[in-house]
Amino acid sequence: MSAKIKTKRANKSADVKISDPGLADAGAFWYTERHDGHSGNTFKINRIIESTQSKFQRIDVVETAGLGKALILYGSLMVAEGDHNAYNEMLAHVPLFSHPKPEDVLIIGGGDCGCLTNVLKHPEVKRATMCELDKEVVEVSKRHFPRLTAGVKDKRAKLIFRDGKNFLETTRKKWDLILLDLSDPVGPAAELFQASFHRTIYERLNDDGILVAQSESPFYNLDITASMYGNLSNIFPQVHLYTCHMIVYPSAYWSFTFCSKKYHPQDDFDHERYKRLARKMKNDYYNDDIHFGSFALPEFVRRAL
């Protein structure tokens, strides 16, 4: 059986309307993103750099006092200059160093392009396709986050702007890796967290293919994390949860679900390739110790899985 993933985060909103020009003119203020009605993340904002409304969502770029520029989509912090790029590095490098020949990679979502840029740090990758619904997120990110979007200029990169679910359902192509760099399971992204979509992904992977999906905070959203793990365990022979520290996300504790038709993320880790590439990659968060340690889970998460 498969579980239907709940698609509504509890009472998640900002205490301050960051587009208010009066607040921007008055100087610094505090922005709070509430997660469950009684707690949240709070950041001091020095100024609003850009605020726009795309066809799909509200997009804000702000300057925080402690983490530099930050990208906010639909009221949720996505990335910041000072977050050590933990999310993007962990989403990309864990599966790439677990697959012996990751030549063809597909990213669903990933509008800030940080995942794409990290994927292209691997010379073994011959093609990296990013299928993102909202072109405006990419354009805003190119203006304000050049380090994250550096991979867009790589000749191996291909950007497609369309619905990721429809794209996978209407193509016959197969990939070595598919990475789900999705926003929270609300709005257009909700269907991309369900078992039916995961089965489509399984069919679009090569016989030794790997899927990694971001699977929310095990602290605030353990029901979503566990339901995804259960759904994916009914589809893939290898399913393993791993985590990272991501300061701008709810609880600062984030999870990814590694799913493979063949390879184990620790047993098949390519030590020699890592040694060869480690210095050139210039990562801020990911290394070989983090790769192995990220699969160690606290007892409350183990019980839920």
Residues acting as catalytic residues:
181
Give the integer Cα–Cα distance in Å for 11 and 14: 10
Angle at Cα 148 formed by Cα 13 and Cα 74, nearest 5°?
15
Structure tokens that stand for 86 in this block: 């933990």
Strand, coil or helix: what is 61?
Answer: strand
Residue 251 and residue 220 in contact, taking contact as beta carbons nearer than 8 Å: yes
Q: With DSSP H G I counted as helix, E B as strand and the rest as coil, what are the percentages for the chain, rounded to 5?
A: 30, 30, 40
Listing DSSP states for 190-229 in one string gives GGGGSHHHHHHHHHTEEEEEEEEEE---TTT-HHHHHHHH
Structure tokens that stand for 207 in this block: 């016989």
